[in-house]
Amino acid sequence: MSDAVGPPATYEAELDASGLNCPLPLLKAKMELNRLTSGAVLKVTATDAGSQRDFRTFAKLAGHALLHEEAADGIYRYWLRKG
């Protein structure tokens, strides 16, 4: 996903799920989002290539906004706004 808009400059929480395989990055992100208030932004870093599909689908189904995603050198970053 390459939009002209970059990642959000600020976020309320950050989760490092590097080294974890599917479905752990998504499960940990869900738990972290549960702690946040509506509208808060969570930044997630993962190394599992399957996380791209997982986070896109999760955001749609759970009513959260996937604000931005990046992929470079096997590192995947996501910025999710809690719905």
Active site (annotated) includes residue 22? yes
The answer to whether the beta carbons of residues 49 and 72 sit under 8 Å apart is no
Pick the catalytic residue: 13, 20, 22, 66?
Answer: 22
Residue 59 — φ and ψ, nearest 5°?
-60, -45
The answer to whether the beta carbons of residues 28 and 15 sit under 8 Å apart is yes
The residues annotated as belonging to the active site are 22
